[in-house]
Amino acid sequence: MELGLKLKEVRLTERLTQTEICDITGIKLETWKGYEYGRRASVSSIELLKVTMHPRFKKYALWLVTDEVAPECGQISPVIGQ
C-alpha cells in the first residue's frame, strides 16, 4: 500500500477529518490532501515524522514505514489494531 493511502487509513481509523489531523500534526491541509489523493509522489520525511512522533499516532509508526506490526510493543496497523 502506498504511504499516502496508509496515512488516510490512520486518519479514518482515528475518526478524524483531514482538517483535524492537519491541526493535530501541523501538516498543511493541501499537503495532506496531496498525499491522500496521490498527487504527491512521495511523503516528506519531515511530514512523516510529524505523524509518527505524535503520541496519538506512534502506535502506527512501524506499520507506516515497514508494513510490519509488533503488537507486543504497541505497534499496530489501523486494520489489525482494532
Beta-carbon contacts of residue 5 (< 8 Å; ≥ 6 apart): 36, 38
Side chain identity, residue 62? L
Q: For 70, phi and psi rounded to 5 degrees?
A: -145, 75
What does pTM read for this prediction?
0.90
Q: Which domains, from first to last, does the chain contain?
A: 3-57 (1.10.260.40)
Side chain identity, residue 43? V
3-state SS assignment for residue 70 = strand
What average pLDDT values come out for the chain (82 residues) when binned by 10 residues? Answer: 93 97 98 94 94 97 96 90 48
